[in-house]
Amino acid sequence: MPGIDETREFIALNIAVLTVSDSRTPETDTSGDVLVERIEKAGHKVAARRIVPDDTVHIRGQLMSWIADESIDAVISTGGTGLTGRDVTPEAFKSVYDKEIDGFSALFHRVSYEKIGTSTVQSRATAGVANGTFLFALPGSPGACKDGWDEILVHQLDHRYRPCNFVEIMPRLEEHKQRK
- DSSP H helices, the chain, are 30-41, 56-68, 89-94, 102-116, 142-148, 154-156, 166-169
How many structural domains compose the chain? 1
For residue 7, being part of any structural domain is answered with no
Radius of gyration for the chain, computed over Cα atoms and rounded to the nearest angstrom: 16
For residue 8, being part of any structural domain is answered with no
* pLDDT in the model for residue 47: 98
What residues make up the domain containing 144?
A: 13-170
Report residues of the chain scoring pLDDT below 50: none
* pLDDT in the model for residue 90: 98
For residue 179, being part of any structural domain is answered with no
Q: Specify which residues 75 forms β-bridges with.
A: 16, 135
Q: How far apart are CA 84 and CA 67, in angstroms?
A: 27
What CATH number does the domain containing 120 carry?
Answer: 3.40.980.10
C-alpha distances out from residue 29 to 22, 34, 113, 141, Å: 11, 9, 24, 10
* pLDDT in the model for residue 179: 56
- Chain segment 86-103, per-residue pLDDT in tens: 999 999 999 999 999 999
